[in-house]
Structures are given as structure tokens and as C-alpha cells.
Amino acid sequence: MQINGIDHVELYVGDARQAAFYFGTAVGFRLRGQGGPETGLADQRSLLLGQADIRMLLTSGLTAEHPASAYVQRHGDGIAVVALEVDDAAGAYAELVARGATGLTPPRTFTGADAEVVLAEVGGFGDVVHRLVERRGDRRVFLPGAIEELPGVDGDELLAEIDHLAVCVPPGQLDDTVSHYEKVFGFAQIFEEHIEVAGQAMNSKVVQSPSERVTLVLLEPDTGRRPGQIEDFLRWHAGAGVQHLGLRTDDIITAVGALAGRGVRFAGTPAAYYDGLEARVGTVDAPLDRLRELSILVDSDHGGQLLQIFTESMHVRRTLFLELIERRGARTFGSGNIKALYEAKERELAAAGATPAVAAGGVQA
């Protein structure tokens, strides 16, 4: 079994057309296909969006019984399917089930004039499913006979590919989740750390496929400290799920400037964060005034630097959000920014005469 990468992600949403308007108008995705009862997708409406190597399927249930309807009722809008590209979907399905995966949908073949696609599904984490996708023929054809392809529209490819998915799991489930991906999917743990800031703490472990094309950043709250953002997600999402989708870009300054101009709201960064930035991470090959203006963060590891920024959640539950990341050799995920952001907020509030208690609350908010 060879997992070659992420074929696509599928979001279950309350209104696929409304979600597509946001991702299209604000984030720059373009409509690539559509499907519904008229194409054999019973009781659902699906819209396929694309940008460079990123494919995103938005699905709404048309009846209360459809799985998307139940998902949205429980979790709100969110990533329900992480589809994995494999060489042999039927073989991968059998092997995964034999290793202990929960088999959900046996292999099924979709055949068209120029392409054939085999799909199968197994359980992942929480209510998130892994769809196994085998493509033969024209790989640009998404799902022959089910998703009607639409003419492509040229545009700026500001985002290049899915870099990683960050997943929140309930307390006590981190090690079991890591073990599941190691034993069942053949992933390897490549990184771990314990993060403490402002009385909050979390444990993080990163697992990655042998191809290095599928990366999951797993986050678990430390219940020995005061509740924070991970507990908020687990409560609002009603269990484990994808907290954010990391999207790699080759030019984060251009991408953030463009998306902000289209209405995407990014998490702000205290101005004090940039005081001594290069003392923390080394010389940055980017104009610091522009990074400050756009609130772009910088971190470094033994491999180099990374530039990153997070959007505000676009959902009423304040759950799923996006991360834009430009890698300049760094292979980690910017954890050094957590402490730096908190210390910058402390300095900023102290200068304004705020108390430490207010500062802690400000970070969590």
C-alpha cells in the first residue's frame, strides 16, 4: 500500500453554494465541477473547487437523512473527508481493514470516456473519513459520471498545495491516535512537543506518510492547566476534528495581501512581536515593515525559516480556519510563535497599563 498524497478534502456544509462563494470570491478557488441528484448523487449537492494542486469538494445534504446533514447538525461546517491518493484502492482498503481500520464503503468504480476512478472509505479520527482514491487515465477528471466537469477559468494560483491538517483530539486520545496511524496507515511520528503559555498547555505530535505528502498535526489539551483554545474547539465542534487546513504558498506576502483585499480576515499580531524578530529567528529575507503590516509570523528550525499566518474562522462556531504557510527550508510548524506572540501581547498590554490577568485573557480571546 502506497499513500501518494492528499487527493482532495471534502467539507460538509449547510449551504454548498454559499460556502463556494466565500472560498471562490475571497480565497481564490475556482469552480471546477458540480454534482447532485441529476448526476446520480442522491440527496446531496456537491461543488468541486480547485486552485493549483488543491481540490476541495463542498457537499450539502438535501435531506435530513444524508450523512452531510447529520454531520453539520453535530459539528457545524467542517472537513468530513480527507481523501488519500493510492495506487490500488481495493488493495489498500483490504490491507487497512486487515490492520484494524473500520471499513465503511467497499471499493466502487466510476468509469468515463477518458478516466476511471476507484473509491473506497475507511474510518479516520472522530467522524472524519479517509477516502481512498485510485485514478486511471485522465487524472484531471474528478469523478466520471457523478461530478460534471466545468470549463476551467484562468486565475492567480496564490496557493499551491495542502501542507498539513491540524487535528484536535480529546484529552487522553493523542497517543492512541498516533498509534492508530502508525500501525494501520504506516505513518511515522516525526515531531512532538509540549507547549505551555499563559497558564494553558497542549501536547502535540506530528505523523506523516512515508511519501511525506500527508501530514497530520495532532493536538491534545493538557487538562492540568486552565482551558484554552483546544478545549474551545472540542466543545464547539463536539469532538475530534480538523481545526485548521494548512495551505502552502510560494509567496505569502502576495497571497496575504490579495486575500485580505478580497475580504479574508486574518488573526492580528501585536506590533511588539516584530521587536527583536531577527534576534529570535535570524535574518529574514523579506521587508519587515510589510510583514508587520500584514501580521505575518516568522519562525525557524534547523532546516530554515517559515512564514505563516492564520485566518479567523469563517464559521459561526469559530471552529475550522485556514493557515497560509511559506516554507523556506523549515520542516516544523511554527510552534515558537506561540510563546513569542504571548510575550509580545504581554509587552503591548503592559505598555498600555493592563494587568497580567487581562493579558492572559487577551491571548485566549
- Say if CB 159 and CB 53 are below 8 A apart: no
Cell match 474510518: residue? 123
Query: Is 365 within a domain?
Result: no
Minimum mean pLDDT range among 45-59, 171-185, 215-229, 330-344: 330-344
Query: Is 360 within a domain?
Result: no
Q: How far apart are CA 348 and CA 365, in angstroms?
A: 15
Q: Tens digit of pLDDT for each residue in 209-234?
A: 999 999 999 999 999 888 888 999 99
CATH of the domain at 62: 3.10.180.10
pLDDT of residue 228: 84
Is residue 171 over pLDDT 80? yes
pTM to 2 decimal places: 0.92
The last residue of one of the domains, among 93, 116, 149, is 149
pLDDT of residue 342: 61
Query: Is 177 within a domain?
Result: yes
pLDDT of residue 213: 97
Query: Is 176 within a domain?
Result: yes
65 exposed, middle or buried (CB, 10 Å; 0-12, 13-18, 19+)?
exposed
pLDDT of residue 54: 97
pLDDT of residue 357: 40
Are 21 and 132 members of one domain?
yes
Q: What is the mean pLDDT of residues 134-145?
A: 95
pLDDT grade for 343, boundaries at 50, 70 and 90: low
pLDDT of residue 363: 36
Query: Is 84 within a domain?
Result: yes
Nearest to 165 by CA among 121, 219, 201: 219
Q: Is 65 annotated as a binding residue?
A: no
pLDDT of residue 8: 98
Query: Is 154 within a domain?
Result: no
pLDDT of residue 341: 66
Is residue 362 over pLDDT 80? no
| Angle 154-159-165 from CA coordinates, rounded to 5° | 135
**Mean predicted lDDT score pLDDT of the chain:** 92
pLDDT of residue 252: 98
Q: How far apart are CA 110 and CA 131, in angstroms?
A: 14
In degrees and rounded to multiples of 5, residue 306 shows phi and psi of: -140, 145
Are 91 and 218 members of one domain?
no
Q: What is the mean pLDDT of residues 114-127?
A: 97
pLDDT of residue 227: 87
The last residue of one of the domains, among 121, 149, 177, is 149
Q: How far apart are CA 347 and CA 242, in angstroms?
A: 32
Are 136 and 274 members of one domain?
no
Are 95 and 212 members of one domain?
no
Total count of domains within the chain: 2
Domain of residue 94, residue span: 3-149
pLDDT grade for 351, boundaries at 50, 70 and 90: confident
Are 173 and 113 members of one domain?
no
Minimum mean pLDDT range among 44-48, 190-194, 308-312, 344-348: 344-348
Are 185 and 145 members of one domain?
no
Are 88 and 125 members of one domain?
yes
Q: Tens digit of pLDDT for each residue in 230-251?
A: 999 999 999 999 999 999 999 9
Are 334 and 257 members of one domain?
yes
Is residue 356 over pLDDT 60? no
Q: Is 164 annotated as a binding residue?
A: yes
pLDDT grade for 129, boundaries at 50, 70 and 90: very high
Query: Is 202 within a domain?
Result: yes
Q: What is the mean pLDDT of residues 48-67?
A: 97
Cell match 499563559: residue? 198
Q: Tens digit of pLDDT for each residue in 66-96?
A: 999 999 999 999 999 999 999 999 999 999 9
Q: How far apart are CA 227 and CA 217, in angstroms?
A: 20
Q: Tens digit of pLDDT for each residue in 251-301?
A: 999 999 999 999 999 988 888 899 989 999 999 999 999 999 999 999 999
Are 138 and 231 members of one domain?
no
| Angle 25-317-169 from CA coordinates, rounded to 5° | 110
Q: What is the mean pLDDT of residues 153-166?
A: 89
Query: Is 357 within a domain?
Result: no
Nearest to 341 by CA among 304, 297, 301: 297
Q: Is 231 annotated as a binding residue?
A: no
Minimum mean pLDDT range among 16-20, 252-256, 329-333: 329-333
Are 123 and 172 members of one domain?
no
% of the chain residues with pLDDT over 70: 94
Are 167 and 313 members of one domain?
yes
Are 247 and 167 members of one domain?
yes
The last residue of one of the domains, among 118, 149, 180, is 149
pLDDT of residue 360: 37
